[in-house]
Amino acid sequence: MIPSLTATDAGNADACIDTLARPLEDLRLSVIDQCNFRCAYCMPKDVFTRDYPFLRAAERLSFEEMITLARTFVGLGVKKIRITGGEPLLRKDLPRLVEALARLETPAGKPVEIAMTTNGALLAAQARALKDAGLARVTVSLDALDDHVFRAMNDVDFPVARVLDGIDAALAAGLAPLKVNAVVKKSRNAHQILPLARHFRHSSVNLRFIEYMDVGGADGWALGEVVTAAEMRTLIEREFALVPQPGRASDTATGFRYADGGGEVGFIASVSKPFCGDCTRARVSADGKLFLCLFAGRSLDLRPWLRAGQTGQLEQAIRAGWRARTDRYSEQRGALRASGAGRRYPVVRMSLVGG
Ligand code: SAM
Protein backbone atom coordinates (compact mmCIF):
# COMPACT_ATOMS: atom_id res chain seq x y z
CA MET A 1 0.00 0.00 0.00
CA ILE A 2 1.30 3.47 -0.82
CA PRO A 3 1.40 5.62 2.31
CA SER A 4 -0.12 9.06 1.88
CA LEU A 5 1.40 12.33 3.07
CA THR A 6 0.55 13.24 6.63
CA ALA A 7 -1.67 16.25 7.24
CA THR A 8 1.35 18.19 8.55
CA ASP A 9 3.46 17.44 5.48
CA ALA A 10 0.66 18.19 3.07
CA GLY A 11 -0.02 21.47 4.84
CA ASN A 12 3.61 22.55 4.57
CA ALA A 13 4.16 24.10 1.16
CA ASP A 14 7.96 23.76 1.58
CA ALA A 15 8.10 20.12 2.72
CA CYS A 16 10.25 17.96 0.49
CA ILE A 17 8.50 14.61 0.79
CA ASP A 18 7.86 12.22 -2.09
CA THR A 19 4.71 10.33 -3.08
CA LEU A 20 5.71 7.41 -0.82
CA ALA A 21 6.15 9.76 2.20
CA ARG A 22 9.99 9.61 2.02
CA PRO A 23 11.74 12.86 3.01
CA LEU A 24 14.78 14.15 1.11
CA GLU A 25 17.65 13.76 3.61
CA ASP A 26 20.76 12.46 1.83
CA LEU A 27 22.67 13.67 -1.20
CA ARG A 28 25.17 11.55 -3.11
CA LEU A 29 27.30 13.91 -5.12
CA SER A 30 29.45 12.42 -7.85
CA VAL A 31 32.48 14.57 -8.57
CA ILE A 32 33.94 12.63 -11.52
CA ASP A 33 32.84 9.71 -13.71
CA GLN A 34 36.35 8.28 -14.20
CA CYS A 35 37.95 5.61 -12.06
CA ASN A 36 41.45 4.15 -11.78
CA PHE A 37 40.01 0.63 -11.26
CA ARG A 38 38.18 -1.53 -13.79
CA CYS A 39 36.14 -3.83 -11.52
CA ALA A 40 34.20 -6.13 -13.85
CA TYR A 41 30.97 -5.64 -11.89
CA CYS A 42 31.06 -1.85 -12.34
CA MET A 43 33.42 -0.58 -15.07
CA PRO A 44 34.44 -3.62 -17.16
CA LYS A 45 37.60 -3.06 -19.19
CA ASP A 46 36.06 -4.03 -22.51
CA VAL A 47 33.39 -1.30 -22.18
CA PHE A 48 35.36 1.41 -20.37
CA THR A 49 38.23 1.52 -22.84
CA ARG A 50 40.71 4.30 -23.55
CA ASP A 51 38.22 5.67 -26.10
CA TYR A 52 35.25 5.66 -23.74
CA PRO A 53 33.42 9.04 -23.85
CA PHE A 54 34.02 10.09 -20.25
CA LEU A 55 32.85 13.60 -19.33
CA ARG A 56 35.27 16.31 -20.41
CA ALA A 57 36.45 18.64 -17.64
CA ALA A 58 34.26 21.46 -18.97
CA GLU A 59 31.20 19.21 -18.79
CA ARG A 60 31.71 18.48 -15.11
CA LEU A 61 30.24 20.77 -12.48
CA SER A 62 32.76 23.18 -10.99
CA PHE A 63 33.26 23.15 -7.22
CA GLU A 64 31.39 26.47 -7.02
CA GLU A 65 28.41 24.90 -8.83
CA MET A 66 28.55 21.88 -6.52
CA ILE A 67 28.55 24.13 -3.47
CA THR A 68 25.52 26.07 -4.73
CA LEU A 69 23.80 22.79 -5.44
CA ALA A 70 24.65 21.35 -2.03
CA ARG A 71 23.42 24.52 -0.29
CA THR A 72 20.13 24.22 -2.16
CA PHE A 73 19.72 20.56 -1.19
CA VAL A 74 20.51 21.36 2.44
CA GLY A 75 17.81 24.04 2.38
CA LEU A 76 15.41 21.33 1.22
CA GLY A 77 16.20 18.94 4.08
CA VAL A 78 19.50 17.20 3.27
CA LYS A 79 21.51 16.42 6.42
CA LYS A 80 24.26 14.28 4.96
CA ILE A 81 26.30 14.59 1.75
CA ARG A 82 28.32 11.69 0.43
CA ILE A 83 31.00 12.52 -2.15
CA THR A 84 31.39 9.73 -4.68
CA GLY A 85 32.20 8.94 -8.32
CA GLY A 86 33.75 7.32 -10.39
CA GLU A 87 36.69 7.55 -8.05
CA PRO A 88 36.33 10.86 -6.15
CA LEU A 89 40.03 11.08 -5.23
CA LEU A 90 40.84 11.50 -8.93
CA ARG A 91 39.21 14.94 -8.80
CA LYS A 92 41.92 17.52 -8.15
CA ASP A 93 41.81 19.68 -5.02
CA LEU A 94 39.04 17.69 -3.37
CA PRO A 95 39.81 19.05 0.13
CA ARG A 96 38.81 22.50 -1.17
CA LEU A 97 35.32 21.18 -1.96
CA VAL A 98 35.10 19.29 1.34
CA GLU A 99 36.03 22.43 3.26
CA ALA A 100 33.22 24.45 1.69
CA LEU A 101 30.66 21.67 2.10
CA ALA A 102 31.62 21.16 5.74
CA ARG A 103 30.73 24.80 6.44
CA LEU A 104 27.07 24.26 5.42
CA GLU A 105 24.40 24.23 8.10
CA THR A 106 20.88 22.86 8.07
CA PRO A 107 17.99 25.34 8.48
CA ALA A 108 17.99 24.29 12.16
CA GLY A 109 21.64 25.40 12.45
CA LYS A 110 23.15 21.92 12.66
CA PRO A 111 26.31 20.93 10.74
CA VAL A 112 25.88 18.79 7.61
CA GLU A 113 27.75 15.49 7.73
CA ILE A 114 30.23 15.13 4.87
CA ALA A 115 31.22 11.57 3.95
CA MET A 116 33.02 9.98 1.03
CA THR A 117 33.13 6.61 -0.74
CA THR A 118 36.47 5.69 -2.33
CA ASN A 119 38.38 2.67 -3.58
CA GLY A 120 41.18 3.81 -1.26
CA ALA A 121 43.95 3.67 -3.89
CA LEU A 122 44.90 7.32 -3.35
CA LEU A 123 43.72 7.63 0.24
CA ALA A 124 47.05 7.28 2.06
CA ALA A 125 48.30 10.55 0.57
CA GLN A 126 45.06 12.49 1.03
CA ALA A 127 43.48 11.26 4.27
CA ARG A 128 44.99 13.92 6.53
CA ALA A 129 44.09 16.85 4.25
CA LEU A 130 40.53 15.54 3.85
CA LYS A 131 40.09 15.17 7.60
CA ASP A 132 41.51 18.66 8.20
CA ALA A 133 39.10 20.03 5.58
CA GLY A 134 36.15 18.65 7.55
CA LEU A 135 35.46 15.21 6.11
CA ALA A 136 33.61 13.31 8.84
CA ARG A 137 33.54 9.76 7.53
CA VAL A 138 34.96 7.61 4.79
CA THR A 139 33.83 4.32 3.29
CA VAL A 140 36.48 2.28 1.47
CA SER A 141 35.53 -0.37 -1.09
CA LEU A 142 37.65 -3.50 -0.69
CA ASP A 143 36.56 -6.84 -2.12
CA ALA A 144 39.42 -9.14 -1.11
CA LEU A 145 42.40 -9.40 1.21
CA ASP A 146 44.29 -11.85 -0.92
CA ASP A 147 46.55 -9.78 -3.18
CA HIS A 148 46.13 -12.04 -6.19
CA VAL A 149 42.32 -11.97 -5.95
CA PHE A 150 42.27 -8.22 -5.32
CA ARG A 151 44.50 -7.43 -8.31
CA ALA A 152 42.30 -9.59 -10.53
CA MET A 153 39.10 -7.95 -9.28
CA ASN A 154 40.26 -4.36 -9.77
CA ASP A 155 41.62 -5.53 -13.16
CA VAL A 156 44.43 -2.97 -13.17
CA ASP A 157 46.79 -5.10 -11.05
CA PHE A 158 46.55 -2.72 -8.09
CA PRO A 159 48.05 -4.20 -4.88
CA VAL A 160 45.81 -4.64 -1.85
CA ALA A 161 48.58 -3.39 0.47
CA ARG A 162 48.17 0.17 -0.82
CA VAL A 163 44.46 0.18 -0.03
CA LEU A 164 45.19 -1.20 3.44
CA ASP A 165 47.75 1.63 3.85
CA GLY A 166 44.99 4.07 2.86
CA ILE A 167 42.67 2.63 5.50
CA ASP A 168 45.41 2.89 8.15
CA ALA A 169 46.16 6.49 7.14
CA ALA A 170 42.46 7.39 7.36
CA LEU A 171 42.18 5.86 10.83
CA ALA A 172 45.38 7.61 11.93
CA ALA A 173 43.97 10.91 10.66
CA GLY A 174 40.89 10.40 12.85
CA LEU A 175 38.47 9.28 10.15
CA ALA A 176 37.07 6.64 12.49
CA PRO A 177 34.97 4.60 12.68
CA LEU A 178 35.57 3.77 9.06
CA LYS A 179 33.38 1.55 6.88
CA VAL A 180 34.74 -1.00 4.43
CA ASN A 181 32.34 -2.24 1.73
CA ALA A 182 32.98 -5.57 0.03
CA VAL A 183 30.92 -6.59 -3.01
CA VAL A 184 30.68 -10.36 -3.17
CA LYS A 185 30.51 -12.19 -6.48
CA LYS A 186 30.21 -15.95 -6.01
CA SER A 187 32.82 -17.10 -8.52
CA ARG A 188 35.34 -14.35 -7.70
CA ASN A 189 35.59 -13.59 -4.00
CA ALA A 190 33.11 -15.58 -1.90
CA HIS A 191 36.14 -17.29 -0.34
CA GLN A 192 37.31 -13.87 0.88
CA ILE A 193 34.33 -13.31 3.20
CA LEU A 194 35.90 -14.99 6.23
CA PRO A 195 39.43 -13.60 5.73
CA LEU A 196 37.95 -10.08 5.49
CA ALA A 197 35.83 -10.65 8.61
CA ARG A 198 38.80 -11.99 10.58
CA HIS A 199 41.05 -9.15 9.43
CA PHE A 200 38.74 -6.31 10.49
CA ARG A 201 37.56 -7.75 13.82
CA HIS A 202 38.87 -5.81 16.79
CA SER A 203 39.63 -2.76 14.64
CA SER A 204 37.87 0.59 14.20
CA VAL A 205 36.52 -0.69 10.90
CA ASN A 206 32.89 -1.57 10.33
CA LEU A 207 32.90 -4.15 7.53
CA ARG A 208 29.82 -4.50 5.33
CA PHE A 209 29.22 -7.13 2.68
CA ILE A 210 27.16 -6.09 -0.36
CA GLU A 211 25.19 -8.41 -2.60
CA TYR A 212 26.32 -8.18 -6.23
CA MET A 213 23.73 -6.00 -7.98
CA ASP A 214 22.62 -5.69 -11.59
CA VAL A 215 23.46 -2.01 -11.80
CA GLY A 216 24.48 -0.28 -15.01
CA GLY A 217 27.99 -1.45 -15.78
CA ALA A 218 27.44 -4.98 -14.45
CA ASP A 219 26.78 -6.26 -17.94
CA GLY A 220 27.19 -9.96 -17.35
CA TRP A 221 25.13 -9.95 -14.15
CA ALA A 222 23.49 -13.26 -13.25
CA LEU A 223 21.45 -14.20 -10.19
CA GLY A 224 23.62 -17.30 -9.79
CA GLU A 225 26.59 -15.02 -8.99
CA VAL A 226 24.82 -13.44 -6.02
CA VAL A 227 25.72 -14.63 -2.53
CA THR A 228 22.80 -13.52 -0.38
CA ALA A 229 23.19 -11.56 2.83
CA ALA A 230 21.68 -14.52 4.72
CA GLU A 231 24.28 -16.89 3.22
CA MET A 232 27.13 -14.54 4.10
CA ARG A 233 25.86 -14.17 7.64
CA THR A 234 25.54 -17.95 8.07
CA LEU A 235 29.11 -18.38 6.86
CA ILE A 236 30.46 -15.87 9.38
CA GLU A 237 28.32 -17.30 12.17
CA ARG A 238 30.02 -20.66 11.73
CA GLU A 239 33.08 -19.01 13.20
CA PHE A 240 31.80 -16.03 15.20
CA ALA A 241 28.50 -15.53 17.05
CA LEU A 242 26.63 -12.39 15.89
CA VAL A 243 24.11 -10.23 17.73
CA PRO A 244 21.67 -8.01 15.72
CA GLN A 245 22.13 -4.26 16.15
CA PRO A 246 19.22 -1.82 16.00
CA GLY A 247 19.67 0.67 13.14
CA ARG A 248 18.24 3.77 11.50
CA ALA A 249 15.25 3.02 9.26
CA SER A 250 17.04 4.40 6.18
CA ASP A 251 20.29 2.47 6.85
CA THR A 252 21.18 0.36 3.85
CA ALA A 253 22.94 -2.31 5.92
CA THR A 254 21.59 -4.71 8.51
CA GLY A 255 24.09 -4.41 11.33
CA PHE A 256 25.44 -7.01 13.75
CA ARG A 257 28.07 -7.00 16.45
CA TYR A 258 30.36 -9.86 17.29
CA ALA A 259 29.13 -11.41 20.56
CA ASP A 260 32.71 -11.55 21.86
CA GLY A 261 33.18 -7.79 21.52
CA GLY A 262 35.08 -8.00 18.22
CA GLY A 263 33.29 -5.01 16.70
CA GLU A 264 30.62 -4.72 14.01
CA VAL A 265 29.79 -6.28 10.68
CA GLY A 266 26.88 -5.60 8.30
CA PHE A 267 25.14 -6.97 5.23
CA ILE A 268 23.50 -5.04 2.40
CA ALA A 269 20.77 -7.22 0.92
CA SER A 270 20.11 -5.06 -2.12
CA VAL A 271 19.10 -8.04 -4.27
CA SER A 272 17.56 -10.59 -1.90
CA LYS A 273 15.68 -8.03 0.22
CA PRO A 274 15.45 -4.82 -1.76
CA PHE A 275 14.66 -1.84 0.39
CA CYS A 276 13.03 1.22 -1.13
CA GLY A 277 10.51 2.14 1.54
CA ASP A 278 12.96 4.25 3.51
CA CYS A 279 15.17 5.57 0.72
CA THR A 280 15.87 9.25 1.42
CA ARG A 281 18.72 9.58 -1.12
CA ALA A 282 19.01 11.87 -4.13
CA ARG A 283 21.96 11.48 -6.49
CA VAL A 284 23.62 14.07 -8.69
CA SER A 285 26.03 13.00 -11.42
CA ALA A 286 29.29 14.82 -12.08
CA ASP A 287 27.62 16.72 -14.94
CA GLY A 288 24.76 17.93 -12.76
CA LYS A 289 21.95 15.49 -13.53
CA LEU A 290 19.57 14.64 -10.71
CA PHE A 291 18.69 10.96 -10.35
CA LEU A 292 16.03 10.00 -7.84
CA CYS A 293 17.10 6.36 -7.70
CA LEU A 294 20.26 4.33 -8.31
CA PHE A 295 18.34 2.48 -11.00
CA ALA A 296 16.54 5.44 -12.55
CA GLY A 297 16.51 5.54 -16.33
CA ARG A 298 15.64 9.23 -16.38
CA SER A 299 17.29 12.29 -14.89
CA LEU A 300 16.74 16.02 -14.58
CA ASP A 301 19.52 18.28 -15.85
CA LEU A 302 20.20 20.89 -13.14
CA ARG A 303 23.07 22.58 -14.98
CA PRO A 304 21.05 25.16 -16.92
CA TRP A 305 19.79 26.74 -13.67
CA LEU A 306 23.21 26.43 -12.03
CA ARG A 307 25.01 28.04 -14.96
CA ALA A 308 22.46 30.84 -15.16
CA GLY A 309 22.70 31.47 -11.41
CA GLN A 310 18.95 30.87 -11.06
CA THR A 311 18.99 29.36 -7.59
CA GLY A 312 15.28 29.97 -6.93
CA GLN A 313 14.28 27.99 -10.02
CA LEU A 314 16.86 25.35 -9.14
CA GLU A 315 15.28 24.86 -5.73
CA GLN A 316 11.78 24.72 -7.19
CA ALA A 317 12.83 22.14 -9.76
CA ILE A 318 14.45 19.87 -7.17
CA ARG A 319 11.50 20.19 -4.82
CA ALA A 320 8.99 19.45 -7.60
CA GLY A 321 11.07 16.48 -8.78
CA TRP A 322 11.33 15.00 -5.28
CA ARG A 323 7.64 15.55 -4.53
CA ALA A 324 6.68 13.67 -7.70
CA ARG A 325 9.12 10.83 -6.89
CA THR A 326 7.58 7.36 -7.17
CA ASP A 327 10.80 5.36 -7.70
CA ARG A 328 11.05 1.95 -6.05
CA TYR A 329 12.99 0.17 -8.77
CA SER A 330 14.85 -2.29 -6.55
CA GLU A 331 11.58 -3.75 -5.33
CA GLN A 332 10.06 -3.74 -8.80
CA ARG A 333 13.13 -5.38 -10.32
CA GLY A 334 12.93 -8.09 -7.66
CA ALA A 335 9.46 -8.91 -8.96
CA LEU A 336 10.76 -8.94 -12.55
CA ARG A 337 13.57 -11.34 -11.61
CA ALA A 338 11.09 -13.60 -9.79
CA SER A 339 9.04 -13.79 -12.99
CA GLY A 340 12.19 -14.85 -14.85
CA ALA A 341 12.08 -11.78 -17.05
CA GLY A 342 15.83 -11.22 -16.80
CA ARG A 343 17.38 -7.78 -17.22
CA ARG A 344 15.33 -5.90 -19.76
CA TYR A 345 15.13 -2.58 -18.03
CA PRO A 346 17.33 0.41 -18.79
CA VAL A 347 19.94 1.23 -16.15
CA VAL A 348 22.15 4.25 -15.59
CA ARG A 349 25.89 3.64 -15.23
CA MET A 350 26.85 3.38 -11.56
CA SER A 351 30.18 5.06 -12.34
CA LEU A 352 28.28 8.14 -13.54
CA VAL A 353 25.71 8.40 -10.81
CA GLY A 354 27.86 7.11 -7.94
CA GLY A 355 27.37 4.20 -5.58
N1 SAM B 1 35.15 4.51 -6.67
C2 SAM B 1 34.48 4.59 -5.41
C3 SAM B 1 34.54 3.25 -4.71
O4 SAM B 1 35.12 2.32 -5.25
O5 SAM B 1 34.00 3.15 -3.60
C6 SAM B 1 33.07 5.14 -5.44
C7 SAM B 1 32.15 4.73 -6.54
S8 SAM B 1 31.71 3.03 -6.58
C9 SAM B 1 30.60 3.02 -7.96
C10 SAM B 1 30.67 2.91 -5.16
C11 SAM B 1 30.34 1.53 -4.67
O12 SAM B 1 29.54 0.87 -5.60
C13 SAM B 1 31.53 0.63 -4.41
O14 SAM B 1 31.49 0.18 -3.07
C15 SAM B 1 31.31 -0.50 -5.36
O16 SAM B 1 31.82 -1.68 -4.87
C17 SAM B 1 29.81 -0.50 -5.50
N18 SAM B 1 29.34 -1.21 -6.68
C19 SAM B 1 29.64 -0.96 -7.97
N20 SAM B 1 29.07 -1.87 -8.78
C21 SAM B 1 28.37 -2.72 -7.98
C22 SAM B 1 27.57 -3.87 -8.23
N23 SAM B 1 27.39 -4.36 -9.46
N24 SAM B 1 27.00 -4.48 -7.17
C25 SAM B 1 27.19 -4.01 -5.91
N26 SAM B 1 27.93 -2.93 -5.62
C27 SAM B 1 28.52 -2.29 -6.65
How many CB atoms within 10 Å of residue 175?
A: 23
Residue from 34, 37, 42 whose mutation best tests the ligand 1 pocket (most atoms within 8 A of CB): 42
- For 226, 233, 250, the CA distances from 230, given in Å and listed in that order, are 11, 5, 20
Of 132, 77, 63, give the one whose Cα is nearest residue 110: 77
Q: How far is the CA of 355 from the centre of ligand 1 (A)?
A: 5
Nearest ligand 1 atom to the CA of 182 is: 16
Contact predicate 292/324, CB 8 Å: no
> How much distance in Å is there from the Cα of 8 to the middle of ligand 1?
37
Instruction: Return the ligand 1 atom nearest residue 350 CA.
Output: 9
- Residue from 32, 37, 41, 228 whose mutation best tests the ligand 1 pocket (most atoms within 8 A of CB): 41
d(CA 78, CA 69): 11
Looking at residue 293, its pLDDT comes to 87
The closest residue, in CA terms, to atom 9 on ligand 1 is: 355
22 contacts: CB under 8 Å, gap ≥ 6: 277, 278, 279, 280, 325
User: Which atom belonging to ligand 1 lies closest to the Cα atom of 84?
Assistant: 6
pTM to 2 decimals? Answer: 0.92
User: Which residues does ligand 1 sit against, CB inside 6 Å?
Assistant: 35, 41-42, 84-85, 87, 117-119, 141, 181, 183, 210, 212-213, 215, 217-218, 350-351, 354-355
Which residues make Cβ contacts (< 8 Å) with residue 321, sequence separation at least 6?
290, 292, 300
From first to last of its 355 residues, the chain has per-residue pLDDT tens of 333 333 334 445 567 999 999 999 999 999 999 999 999 999 999 999 999 999 999 999 999 999 999 999 999 999 999 999 999 999 999 999 999 999 999 999 999 999 999 999 999 999 999 999 999 999 999 999 999 999 999 999 999 999 999 999 999 999 988 999 999 999 999 999 999 999 999 999 999 999 999 876 666 788 999 999 999 999 999 999 999 998 765 567 889 999 999 999 999 998 998 878 889 999 999 999 999 988 887 899 999 999 999 999 999 999 999 999 987 776 676 665 554 444 445 556 777 766 6
For residue 35, the ligand 1 atom closest to its alpha carbon is 1
What pLDDT is stored for residue 247 in this prediction? Answer: 75
Ligand 1 centre distance from Cα of residue 108 (Å): 33
Cα(255) to centroid of ligand 1, in Å?
19
Question: Residue 114 forms beta bridges with which residues?
Answer: 81
How many Cβ atoms from other residues are within 10 Å of residue 91's Cβ?
20
Question: Which residue is closest in CA terms to ligand 1's atom 12?
Answer: 355
β 254-258/289-291 pair status: unpaired
Position 74, amino acid: V
Quote the ligand 1 centre to 141 CA distance (angstroms): 7
CA-closest residue to ligand 1 atom 22? 213
User: Residue whose CA is closest, atom 5 of ligand 1?
Assistant: 118
Please report the atom of ligand 1 found closest to the CA of residue 214: 23
Ligand 1 pocket test, candidate residues 118, 226, 284, 350, most atoms within 8 A of CB: 350
Which residue's alpha carbon is at the smallest distance from atom 2 of ligand 1? 118
Site to probe by mutation for ligand 1, drawn from 32, 143, 158, 181 as the one with most ligand atoms within 8 Å of Cβ, is 181
Task: Identify which of 117, 192, 252 to mutate to test ligand 1's pocket (most ligand atoms within 8 A of the CB).
Answer: 117
